Amino acid sequence: MPLDITRLFNSEFHARASDAEWRAGLTLWLKSFHQVPAGSVPDDDVSLARLAELGRDVKAWKKVRATALHGWIKCSDGRFYHPVVAEKAAEAWTGKKSQRARTAKARLQALLSRLSKTSDTMDFANIEGSIQTLLNDLSQYLPQTEITAITESVTGSVTEAKRKRKEKGEGQGKGYSVPDGTGGTPPKPAEEMTKDELWTVGKSLLVQAGMPGAQCGAFVGKLVKDYGDGVVLEAVRAAVVQRPADPASFMKAVCQRIKGERPNGQESLEGKNRSVAAELAGEV
């Protein structure tokens, strides 16, 4: 907590408090800075005694209580608030938000630079997902007008990066897609496909399952962020081989299983459920 020394030593509290009252009062200021809400303390003598570093000696606390609580105001939520401490807490939070916003903006620029240079499809999707996460973070720290302007600028940069990739023919599929219907198969075995080829077929599965094309990159980017590039690649490969009805849930489940977050029995059960559903659909 920032301490305004001049303000403290010119205060009425400093002029009137005894040593014990001064120590208890200042301790409450410092402790309240980290309370929730910041700048407040509960209206409870047992809690106040502990916060004032008097332990369980409530009797000693009551002797200093009146002066130690000088300047505190009881509000509608039943807690005491100190205007000066609350002011310092608000200033600290404003400074922290500004620092976080500056850091997020710098990271955003670095990611946009990487996005314009990468030729790897899954890396592109990962970066795109990270950019969206940073925009969400920035929305907590910036005014709506500023975050709107930044979002529009970033969206334009991402769109331009996608346009350039399309012109270069990067990650555009090279003819690899999963045909409609139950009989469609990839043009070559999944284990022989390159990373870009796998991602193209995997994206086709996601789109056919109803996921908007614009969200596919963010979805895979989130998986890469949570589980790593290699794990997600295996999940996409498994989805290409098995072609589940819900590829998004299937890919996430495979990632969780590889990472040990999901037991094999759960995936087996879901496989049986999918088989039963397929049989019922065939009967209909």
Model pLDDT for residues 56-107, shown as the tens digit of each residue: 999 999 999 999 999 999 999 999 999 999 999 999 988 988 898 899 889 8
Whether residue 185 is predicted with pLDDT greater than 80 in this model: the reply is no
pLDDT at 279: 60
Closest CA to 171 of 140, 195, 142: 195
pLDDT at 174: 43
In whole numbers, what is the pLDDT of the chain averaged over residues?
A: 80
Structure tokens given for 4: 């305004």
pLDDT at 51: 95
Mind listing the pLDDT tens digit for each residue in 6-51? 888 988 888 889 999 999 999 999 999 999 999 999 999 999 999 9
Q: Output the DSSP codes for the chain.
A: ----HHHHHTSHHHHH--HHHHHHHHHHHHHHTTSSSTTEEES-HHHHHHHTT-TT-HHHHHHHHHHHTTT-EE-TTSEEE-HHHHHHHHHHHHHHHHHHHHHHHHHHHHHHHHHHH---HHHHHHHHHHHHHHHHHHTTTS-HHHHHHHHHHHHHHHHHHHHHHHHHTTTS-TT----SSTT---SS-GGG--HHHHHHHHHHHHHHTT--HHHHHHHHHHHHHHH-HHHHHHHHHHHHHH--SSHHHHHHHHHHHHTTSS-HHHHHHHHHHHHHHHHHHHH-
Torsion angle of alpha carbons 238, 240, 245, 251, nearest 10°? 40
Q: What percent of the chain has pLDDT over 70?
A: 81
Structure tokens given for 244: 């589940």
Q: What's the mean pLDDT in 236-264?
A: 80
Tell which wins on pLDDT, 61 or 229: 61
Q: What's the mean pLDDT in 109-113?
A: 89
pLDDT at 255: 87
Whether residue 186 is predicted with pLDDT greater than 50 in this model: the reply is no
- By residue count, the chain amounts to 284
- Determine the Cα–Cα distance for residues 112 and 15; give it in Å rounded to an integer: 57
- Determine the Cα–Cα distance for residues 264 and 254; give it in Å rounded to an integer: 9
Q: What's the mean pLDDT in 128-140?
A: 85
User: Which residues on neighbouring strands pair with residue 40, listed in sequence order?
Assistant: 81
The top-scoring range by mean pLDDT among 30-34, 222-226, 234-238 is 30-34
Tell which wins on pLDDT, 282 or 259: 259
Whether residue 175 is predicted with pLDDT greater than 50 in this model: the reply is no
Whether residue 183 is predicted with pLDDT greater than 50 in this model: the reply is no
- Determine the Cα–Cα distance for residues 93 and 253; give it in Å rounded to an integer: 39
pLDDT at 258: 85
Whether residue 137 is predicted with pLDDT greater than 80 in this model: the reply is yes
- Determine the Cα–Cα distance for residues 230 and 191; give it in Å rounded to an integer: 14
Q: What percent of the chain has pLDDT over 90?
A: 25
Confidence band (pLDDT; 50, 70, 90) for 160? confident
- Determine the Cα–Cα distance for residues 227 and 215; give it in Å rounded to an integer: 18
Structure tokens given for 9: 């030593």
The top-scoring range by mean pLDDT among 110-114, 218-222, 275-279 is 110-114
Kind and range of the H or E run holding 244 = none
Whether residue 180 is predicted with pLDDT greater than 80 in this model: the reply is no
